[in-house]
Amino acid sequence: MSPDELRAKVVLEVGARNVNGSLRMYVQGMQPKSYLGVDIEHGPGVDEVCNADDLVKRFGRDSFDVVICTEVLEHVVNWQLVCSNLKQVLKPNGVLLMTTRSKGFHFHAYPYDFWRYELDDARIIFGDLQIEMLEPDTGAPGIFLKARKPAQFTEYHPNELELYSMIKKRKCRMVTPMDIRWFRIKTGIRSFGSCILPPGMKRLIKKALGETA
């Protein structure tokens, strides 16, 4: 993805609240037409409060040329719905840039930490897109994905896929409110931290955005 592919494009960042670094200034330096940051609560970098479950409901299908989603997917309870929304709000030929954590990365809730994704999981979940880059984070367990939405898009719903759950400590398809309550009772966790986007992952993202230096 070259700088020319970002210039004059409509960009959405999902999970834009700047508590752990943001790509906003970097991407805005490539002169997109617009850059909209959404998150579940107000804060630095957030232009509009919107749950990732509700992207299509709020913005409609085929609305953005580029969707950026870094260090978010491990924190959403309904990952199937959120991944579907990420795909659906992309325009045909639009690009998704995503990072998330893999098994072995420490628990880091903001406000929750539910899932761990492996490379094979991403190949299945985003197999209905044209995957252009899919690489592990060499600095900490995690993955980076760059994928393009086909002009003729037929969505695949990975309803049977099981991910590793930080709540249940095993692979499963979903976690329930009861699972979450029991986890908090067992662990005594009441306060939550956040995940810093590792330098290695930042380099992968910039590489995908066309940085050659």
Domain at 69, CATH number: 3.40.50.150
pLDDT at 200: 65
Beta bridge partners of 211: none
Q: For the chain, what is the domain count?
A: 1
In a domain, 177, yes or no: no
Segment 169-205, tens digit of pLDDT: 999 999 999 998 888 888 776 544 445 556 666 666 6
Vertex 193: Cα angle to 73 and 41 (nearest 5) = 60
**Closest among 68, 66, 67, 85 to 76, alpha carbons compared:** 85
The burial class, CB within 10 Å (0-12 / 13-18 / 19+), for 146 is: buried
Range in 24-33, 137-146, 149-158, 198-207 the model is least confident about? 198-207
The whole domain housing 101 covers: 3-106+116-161+195-208
In this structure, is residue 201 part of a structural domain? Answer: yes
Q: Which residues contact 169 (CB under 8 A, 6 or more apart)?
A: none
User: Rounded mean pLDDT of 118-145?
Assistant: 97
Using a 10 angstrom Cβ sphere, with 0-12 exposed, 13-18 middle and 19 or more buried, the burial of residue 147 is: buried
